[in-house]
Amino acid sequence: MTRITLSAFLLLLLVFKTSAQVRPIRKEFLNPNSKNVLVASHRAVHHELPENSLPAIREAIRLGVDIIEIDVKVSKDGIPMLMHDGKVDRTTTGNGDLETQTFDDLRKLRLVSNGQVTDEMIPTLQEALQVAKGRILVDLDLKTEQIDKVIKVVKKMNAEKYVFFFDSDYEVLSKVDAASKKYMIMPRAYSHVMADSALTRFQPEVIHIDSKFYTAEVCAAIRKRGARVWINALGATDEQIRKGNAREAIKNLTSAGANVIQTDEPEKVMVTLREMGLRR
């Protein structure tokens, strides 16, 4: 085998290996009645790493998390970048709205984690998808109305099979749905009626529900129509997990049938789910 042929073979092997990592996760994700509860890491893993950063994404992959949730905004000159807040003040050395600043200016800033300035820059969506590709599912929390710019990057990266779009604005999600039926969607619902409307309008892969209307009846209705049920552990529930009451917290979260949990404590949640027989 020549050196060129060997190099090509090794590259093909690497592509196959990384793609194989996400394939079983995607299969589970698309099975609404699976008993396997999936775990989504909020803003990637950001305990000791900057939120929405490349190292935080890599750590989620290392831990074996199923899904990362990342937030997307678009710079003044049209580059989708990761940022949760309206302003960059809390998480960077800069200030002001990301969408009023150019890519070059934003790249001069450094991410701040736990009050400490790091060497990390605000990543682009393309960079984040490159790290995630074939390794983990990606929940894109849309913090922008410039959906065309986001879709362009997803298309460029051939990310349709491992990315899904999240928003509570159904008009925004309609733009995603209109761009291609291949795109996976997660609408947020604030009531049973809203969940039913989202199911009819989008035939989504997953519905994000709130604890206020979290019942076995709601979850059964959502799963019957082909979608998983996503619920948050963020806030009080995650705090309960940190204090050592993980089993009780997970029992409450899964009692009515939710089968995707978003958390700031992904490692603890995964361990507890396995102990309870709710995760392979």
Q: pLDDT (tens digit, 9 = 90+) per residue, 125-184?
A: 999 999 999 999 999 999 999 999 999 999 999 999 999 999 999 999 999 999 999 999
Query: How is residue 113 annotated by DSSP?
Result: E
Q: Is residue 280 part of a domain?
A: no
Pairing of strands 112-113, 116-117: antiparallel
User: What is the residue range of 152's domain?
Assistant: 34-75+124-275
User: How far is residue 262's CA from residue 34's CA, in Å, rounded to a whole number?
Assistant: 17
Structural domain total, the chain: 1
Query: Do the domain assignments include residue 219?
Result: yes
What is the average per-residue pLDDT within 78-94? 97
Domain assignment present for 9 = no
CB 79 within 8 A of CB 98: no
CATH number, domain with residue 202 = 3.20.20.190
Which residues, 6+ apart, have CB-to-CB distance to 276 below 8 Å? 247, 250, 251
Distance CA 147, CA 171 (A): 11
Tell me how far apart the alpha carbons of residues 93 and 109 are, in angstroms, rounded to a whole number: 6
Q: Residues of the chain with pLDDT > 90: what percent?
A: 91
- By the 8 A CB rule, do 106 and 45 touch? no
pLDDT for the residue numbered 48: 81
pTM value? Answer: 0.92
Does residue 108 fall inside a structural domain?
Answer: no
Within a domain: 23: no
Residue 172 belongs to some domain of the structure: yes
Say if 26 falls within a structural domain: no
Domain membership flag for residue 240: yes
User: What three-state secondary structure class fits 70?
Assistant: strand
Residue in this structure with the two tokens 């997660």, named with its chain if needed: 186
